[in-house]
A and B are shown apart, each in its own frame.
Chain A
Amino acid sequence: MSTLEFDSLYLEFGMNRVLSSIYMKCTTGQIVGLLGRNGSGKSCLMQIVFGTMPADKSVRFNGTRLMEDQLTKKIIAYLPQSDLLPPFVTFKQALKLYDIDEERIFAHFPEISDCLNQKSSVVSGGQRRLFEVLLVLYADHPFCILDEPFSGLMPIHIEKLKELFTLEKHHKGIIITDHMHRHIREIADELYMLTNGTTYPVKTEKQLLELGYLNGL
């Protein structure tokens, strides 16, 4: 079992302190959800942990602190909120680069085979997003961070993805942030709320209300 944990994270934009008191932990076999209001710093936090946004931090993999070269170690795969695939890359090329067997994708989403040879710029936004989520999920990294994986997806695909996350978590750790909080709460083993630069472990819906994320139960 592998562990990814991070704390001592500080991020400021000018006088505005975005992140200050953060602690999160994810182990393989776990789905960890992160909720937070718009602008609370969720995406920044994810990018800092992934290693592409500079900040004071302590990100540890199995107790060992990850340094500047963490990207080369391929410990975390990251799905950004925006498009992941460059427009000139076809789905087939992406699978080859990520070394993923296309049959694994078709087994759950056979409809993707229709656009296998198309460039990502010409397929629909929903299909592209679905494929991007699968690409990151099946990448050979022990952990993956998914920033708004459900945005633009139709309900049937969201349900299928949730099943797939639950299957895949047996051999990797998954950190998810999305505003579709019901879906996140349904699949997450641990849930955190990010507000005022601080992460709070959340157990109940009432806590989300108290932390200002929901306005009614």
Chain B
Amino acid sequence: MQRMLIMFACYRLVALPSIIITLITSGLLGQSGTPFYLVQAIWTKVITTALLLAFVHFFRSNHFFFFNNLGQSRRAIYWNLIIPDVLICAASFSLVLML
């Protein structure tokens, strides 16, 4: 439970822009109506996530101390940013493709 709370708190560093990008990409995937766009949507997410991580690395790393005290190394913090985003993105894309 504590592990999940820490992961969620870490994810909030990028949650807003990341979820907005996921929703826009999902919307475009839904409009195109073809699984072919899925590859482009995934690459869009990969590139924007990399840019977001770079932004956090260079401009928000002062917040890492809060999570370091909770036993999170820098690498663990990055995984905490990526894992929830991948799950949300996968769920969103799957839902759009099913509809």
Contacts and interface: CB of A to CB of B under 8 A. Distances in A.
8 contacts: A50-B68, A71-B68, A72-B71, A80-B65, A86-B13, A89-B66, A96-B5, A97-B5
Contacts, number: 54
Candidate in A71, A88, A139, A141 with the most chain B CB atoms within 10 angstroms = A71
B83 interface: no
B2 A136 contact: no
Contacts of B71: 71-74
Given A52-B65, A52-B68, A80-B62, A97 B73 contact: no
Interface of A: 50-52, 69, 71-74, 77-78, 80, 82-86, 88-89, 93-94, 96-99, 136, 139, 141
Interface in B6-29: 6, 9, 12-13
B66 A84 contact: yes
A45 B2 CA distance: 30
Interface in B46-72: 62-66, 68-72
Nearest to B70: A97
Contacts of A82: 62
B69 A52 contact: no
A141 to B, nearest CB: 8
A69 B68 contact: no
Interface residues of B, number: 19
A162 B2 CA distance: 31
B12 A85 contact: no
Contacts of A98: 69-70
A74 B73 CA distance: 11
A79 to B, nearest CB: 8
A168 to B, nearest CB: 16
Nearest to A72: B71
A171 B33 CA distance: 63
Given A51-B68, A80-B62, 15 more contacts: A52-B65, A71-B68, A74-B71, A78-B68, A80-B65, A83-B62, A84-B69, A85-B66, A86-B63, A89-B9, A89-B66, A94-B66, A98-B70, A99-B2, A139-B69
A78 B65 contact: yes
B66 A86 contact: yes
Contact of B12 (A71, A86, A94, A99): A86
Contacts of A52: 64-65, 68, 74
A85 B70 CA distance: 12
A96 B6 CA distance: 10
A148 to B, nearest CB: 13
Contacts of B2: 97, 99
A82 B72 CA distance: 19
Contacts of B64: 52
Contacts of B74: 52
CB-CB nearest 7 A-B residue pairs: A86-B63, A74-B71, A80-B65, A77-B69, A71-B73, A72-B71, A88-B12
